């Protein structure tokens, strides 16, 4: 059952916040509220009142967040409560760490805390399960949210849930003025958003959003524009920085979209505390990790004297051949897309996550990673101020990767190192590594399910292909900034790899179709130069000598437009049999290039459900296997906390059903299809309104 509750985030990791923050809340495995409260030594309703950035004995930067506690739900309250998060800015040094809650002064919420075993102050706490240890409050509408779901009422939904989990009622210590105040009543002159331009743009790059409407007020005052929080899939909001506002007038607002903003409807709150929401969703195509106070961007540099960055495995990671292969396949994908030199060098002489000049790649040691965090990327920034006055200019001076240990029966992760696809009980290491390497390229989270930098990934899911309309343009924008922006500190510029591929392949996939029978292969190219043909190759095992051509498809020759191709291998696959496929791309001058392999498995009766659309906003279509059994079919939908939110009993011969989900909170759910014969099929569903 533990694997079934681990419907993992995007997981994958990310960024946001204030001067002392970390990259985004990524690489998370959902942990039910009951398990979080059981792991916590202290559960409190509180507000961050102050922050202090400090350095530990090993030279790492941490942010200490002091809490004002309003209510205690569990544990003994010490004289003072501080919560530690890795990362922050200390003078002209900064550390950006993924998979943190990105706390800011003024943030309210329910804090689930445990002693911090690695921070600079051993009397301080850290959040249980990383960002999942904070259930953020929106005091304006009295809602709360964590990275995987939303509570529509703090008083009527969150409090009862926490009290059930802890077995005791909350003990009030002091009044919480923000929650005790009467809600802002609707006003006749409430603000209205008529429209906005552009409809899509990047976050964290200085791109300006123009919002047209009325009733915004002549001046901003305490007014703000808030965007869906990409780290939490839009279940909470983040506000633009005070320096992001270009114009605030009664009929128009111009604001720079900050790091951490994701796709979805945004909202405007006036100085008089009246709020309105945009009539349609803004699309954030990619996000740049940057420094928010004041906004600044860090450039990638020629750190190793060979054009980019040399990464070093620690001995434990290096000994895992399969993990190395997955990490390097991911690295090759980024190198082909950006031509940024990231190389694997000699074995590291130490495996410490610290600002020590070594770009370490390792499995976790010493409980550095909180429970249910799959991985973290730490980017180290170094700043300079030319002439001793004026703005600081920043570079990325080091990058460290820390992944959860493989499952050895002691709480590790059930990794799939590939190249075959993961099972439903596994997390795909190559997908996670590709996402974390995106953070190393200084990309943040977005809400875009087709992109590698999407905020979440589920167990059993593959995300090994960089998006041609998101991941790749975002990374190329980072490269362009690093090469062409002002460089008054005279940093050595990156030197791009001299790789000119005749074909830029942005997707290759295979699917077994029993009705044919056979395997349908599809792929897409972004550009082609002098391409002759594609040969689809197949093998029963991904060994180099086993590959054989199945069919050939003529290529476009020369093209700058996106092109899609398809081929069919008409040979059937037995139930459960796996066959591997790759592309051999031949150039007109005879040169050849090979894609990564994909694994395709023959259909197995009663092993998979089809759901569409997924993510879903309103109605989920579910298709299951045909059966002639007598009796009834049971369909259930369960949230990440294990609560059953839908249950249907249908005739056993049912093969398709539509399930309404418009009233459910955003988050990951488990769909279970139980046949009359007792066989169970499961699928993960992402509800995203």
List strands edge to edge, sheet with 237-239. Answer: 237-239, 224-228, 267-269, 275-277
Residue among 71, 151, 142 at smallest CA distance from 111: 71
Residue among 669, 685, 630 at smallest CA distance from 30: 669
Where does residue 207 rank: exposed (0-12), middle (13-18), buried (19+ CB within 10 A)?
middle
Report d(CA 259, CA 287) in Å as an integer: 6
In a domain, residue 490? The reply is no
CB-based contact 268:191 (threshold 8 Å):
yes
Residue among 554, 564, 565, 563 at smallest CA distance from 588: 554
474 pLDDT more than 70 = yes
- Of all residues in the chain, the percent with pLDDT exceeding 90 is 46
633 pLDDT more than 90 = no
pTM exceeds 0.85 = no
In a domain, residue 309? The reply is no
Q: Which residue has the higher pLDDT, 641 or 115?
A: 115
Q: Is there a single domain that holds both residue 615 and residue 597?
A: no
- The gap from C-alpha 373 to its chain's centroid, in whole angstroms, comes to 12
Question: Which pLDDT band, with edges at 50, 70 and 90, does 408 fall under?
Answer: low
Pull the structure tokens for residue 81. Answer: 């409560």
Q: Is there a single domain that holds both residue 401 and residue 284?
A: no
- The gap from C-alpha 183 to its chain's centroid, in whole angstroms, comes to 33
CATH of the domain at 258: 2.60.40.10
Domain boundary among 484, 518, 542: 484
55-67 per-position pLDDT tens digit: 988 888 999 999 9
553 pLDDT more than 90 = yes
Question: Which pLDDT band, with edges at 50, 70 and 90, does 530 fall under?
Answer: confident
254 pLDDT more than 70 = yes
Residue among 301, 299, 297, 300 at smallest CA distance from 492: 301
Residue 571 DSSP symbol = -
Q: Is there a single domain that holds both residue 130 and residue 14?
A: yes
- The gap from C-alpha 457 to its chain's centroid, in whole angstroms, comes to 7
15 pLDDT more than 70 = no
Element (H, E) at 504: strand 503-513
Where does residue 679 rank: exposed (0-12), middle (13-18), buried (19+ CB within 10 A)?
middle
Pull the structure tokens for residue 626. Answer: 């045909």
In a domain, residue 91? The reply is yes
Domain boundary among 572, 601, 630: 601
Question: 395 forms bridges with which residues in the sheet?
Answer: 299, 382
Q: Is there a single domain that holds both residue 353 and residue 438?
A: yes
Pull the structure tokens for residue 23. Answer: 């990259």
Q: Is there a single domain that holds both residue 165 and residue 16?
A: yes
Q: Is there a single domain that holds both residue 222 and residue 172?
A: no
Euclidean distance between the first and the last CA atom of the chain, given in angstroms as a whole number:
28
DSSP per-residue codes, 318-341 = HT-HHHHHHHHHHHHHHHHHH---
Question: Which pLDDT band, with edges at 50, 70 and 90, does 269 fall under?
Answer: very high
In a domain, residue 492? The reply is no
A 10 A CB-CB count for 237 gives 23
Report d(CA 185, CA 439) in Å as an integer: 42
CB-based contact 429:421 (threshold 8 Å):
no
Domain boundary among 601, 629, 649: 601
Q: Is there a single domain that holds both residue 618 and residue 588?
A: no
Question: Which pLDDT band, with edges at 50, 70 and 90, does 184 fall under?
Answer: low
Q: Which domain covers residue 539, as residue numbers?
A: 503-601
Pull the structure tokens for residue 599. Answer: 């694994």
Highest mean pLDDT of the ranges 180-184, 533-537, 628-632: 533-537
Q: Is there a single domain that holds both residue 229 and residue 163?
A: no
330-358 per-position pLDDT tens digit: 998 898 888 899 999 999 998 899 999 99
CB-based contact 23:377 (threshold 8 Å):
yes
Q: Is there a single domain that holds both residue 28 and residue 51?
A: yes
Q: State the pairing for strand pair 598-601/592-594.
A: unpaired
Q: What distances in angstroms separate CA 362 from CA 10, 11, 320, 398, 405, one per listed residue?
A: 20, 19, 10, 15, 9
Question: Which pLDDT band, with edges at 50, 70 and 90, does 13 fall under?
Answer: very low
In a domain, residue 304? The reply is no
147-161, 434-448, 617-631, 666-680: range with lowest mean pLDDT: 617-631
A 10 A CB-CB count for 606 gives 15
Element (H, E) at 673: strand 667-674
Report d(CA 368, CA 401) in Å as an integer: 12
In a domain, residue 306? The reply is no
211-239 per-position pLDDT tens digit: 999 999 999 999 999 999 998 888 889 99
Q: Is there a single domain that holds both residue 345 and residue 475?
A: yes
In a domain, residue 134? The reply is yes
Task: Determine the pLDDT at residue 499.
Answer: 53
Residues in the chain: 689
381-385, 416-420, 538-542: range with lowest mean pLDDT: 538-542
**Taking residues 623-641, what's their average pLDDT?**
77
624 pLDDT more than 50 = yes
Q: Is there a single domain that holds both residue 117 and residue 201?
A: no
DSSP per-residue codes, 17-52 = -STT--EES-SB----HHHHHHH-SEEEEEEEEEEE
Number of domains in the chain: 5
Q: What are phi and psi of 156, to 5 degrees?
A: -95, -20
Pull the structure tokens for residue 556. Answer: 């476009």
**Taking residues 302-306, what's their average pLDDT?**
94
Task: Determine the pLDDT at residue 628.
Answer: 61
Q: Which residue has the higher pLDDT, 295 or 385?
A: 385
CATH of the domain at 656: 2.60.40.3080
Task: Determine the pLDDT at residue 23.
Answer: 31
**Taking residues 494-499, what's their average pLDDT?**
77
With H, G, I as helix, E, B as strand and everything else as coil, classify residue 493: coil
Q: State the pairing for strand pair 134-138/82-86.
A: unpaired
**Taking residues 305-314, what's their average pLDDT?**
96
**Taking residues 496-509, what's their average pLDDT?**
69
**Taking residues 503-513, what's their average pLDDT?**
76
**Taking residues 257-272, what's their average pLDDT?**
93
Q: Is there a single domain that holds both residue 168 and residue 73?
A: yes
Average pLDDT, the chain: 85
Task: Determine the pLDDT at residue 607.
Answer: 45
Highest mean pLDDT of the ranges 254-258, 466-470, 610-614: 254-258
């Amino acid at each position: 059952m533990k694997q079934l509750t681990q419907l993992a985030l995007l997981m994958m990791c990310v960024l946001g916040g204030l001067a002392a923050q970390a990259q985004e809340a990524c690489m998370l495995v959902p942990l039910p509220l009951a398990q979080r409260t059981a792991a916590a030594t202290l559960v409190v309703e509180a507000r961050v009142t102050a922050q202090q950035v400090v350095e530990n004995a090993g030279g790492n930067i941490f942010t200490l967040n002091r809490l004002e506690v309003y209510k205690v739900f569990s544990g003994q309250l010490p004289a003072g409560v501080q919560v530690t998060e890795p990362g922050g800015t200390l003078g002209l040094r900064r550390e950006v760490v993924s998979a943190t809650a990105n706390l800011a002064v003024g943030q309210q919420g329910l804090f689930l805390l445990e002693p911090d075993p690695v921070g600079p102050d051993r009397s301080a706490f850290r959040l249980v399960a990383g960002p999942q240890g904070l259930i953020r409050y929106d005091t304006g509408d009295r809602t709360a949210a964590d990275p995987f779901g939303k509570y529509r009422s703090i008083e009527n939904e969150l409090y009862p849930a926490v009290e059930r989990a802890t077995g005791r009622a909350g003990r009030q210590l002091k009044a919480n003025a923000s929650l005790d105040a009467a809600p802002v009543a609707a006003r006749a002159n409430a603000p209205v958003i008529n429209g906005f331009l552009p409809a899509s743009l990047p976050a964290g790059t200085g791109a300006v959003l123009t919002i047209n409407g009325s009733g915004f007020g002549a001046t901003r005052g305490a007014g703000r524009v808030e965007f869906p929080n990409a780290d939490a899939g839009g279940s909470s909001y983040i506000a633009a920085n005070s320096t992001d506002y270009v114009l605030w007038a009664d009929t128009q607002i111009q604001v720079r979209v900050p790091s951490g903003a994701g796709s979805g409807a945004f909202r405007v709150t006036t100085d008089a505390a009246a709020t309105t929401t945009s009539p349609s969703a803004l699309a954030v195509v990619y996000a740049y990790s940057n420094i928010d106070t004041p906004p600044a961007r860090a450039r990638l540099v020629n750190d190793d004297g060979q054009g980019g960055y040399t990464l070093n495995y620690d001995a434990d990671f290096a000994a895992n051949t399969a993990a190395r292969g997955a990490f390097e396949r991911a690295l090759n994908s980024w190198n082909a897309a950006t031509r940024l030199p990231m190389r694997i060098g000699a074995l590291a002489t130490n495996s410490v996550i610290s600002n020590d000049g070594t770009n370490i790649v390792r499995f976790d040691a010493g409980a550095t990673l909180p429970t249910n965090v799959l991985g973290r990327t730490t980017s180290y920034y170094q700043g300079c101020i030319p002439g001793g006055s004026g703005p600081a200019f920043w570079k990325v001076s080091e990058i460290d990767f820390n992944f959860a240990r493989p499952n050895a029966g002691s709480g590790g992760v059930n990794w799939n190192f590939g190249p075959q696809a993961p099972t439903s009980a596994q997390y795909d290491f190559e997908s996670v590594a590709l996402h974390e390497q995106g953070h190393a390229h200084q990309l943040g989270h977005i809400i875009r399910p087709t992109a590698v930098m999407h905020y979440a990934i589920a167990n059993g899911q593959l995300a090994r292909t960089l998006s041609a309309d998101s991941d790749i343009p975002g990374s190329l924008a980072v490269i362009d900034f690093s090469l062409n922006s002002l460089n008054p500190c005279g940093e050595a510029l990156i030197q791009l790899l001299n790789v000119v591929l005749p074909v830029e392949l942005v997707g290759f996939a295979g699917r077994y179709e029993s009705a044919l029978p056979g395997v349908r292969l599809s792929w897409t190219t972004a550009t082609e130069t002098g391409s002759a043909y594609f040969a689809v190759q197949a093998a029963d095992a991904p060994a180099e000598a086993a590959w054989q051509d199945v069919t050939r498809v003529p290529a476009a020759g020369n093209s700058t437009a996106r092109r899609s191709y398809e081929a069919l291998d008409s040979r059937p696959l037995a139930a459960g049999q796996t066959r591997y496929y790759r592309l051999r791309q031949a150039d007109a001058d005879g040169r050849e290039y090979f894609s990564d392999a994909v694994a395709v498995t023959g259909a197995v009766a009663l092993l998979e459900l089809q759901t569409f659309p997924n993510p879903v906003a309103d109605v989920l279509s579910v298709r299951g296997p045909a059966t002639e059994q007598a009796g009834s079919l049971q369909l259930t939908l369960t949230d990440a906390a294990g609560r059953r939110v839908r249950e249907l009993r249908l005739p056993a011969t049912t093969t398709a059903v539509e399930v309404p989900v418009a009233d459910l909170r955003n988050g990951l759910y488990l769909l279970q299809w139980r046949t009359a014969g007792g066989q169970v099929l499961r699928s993960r569903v992402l509800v995203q309104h």
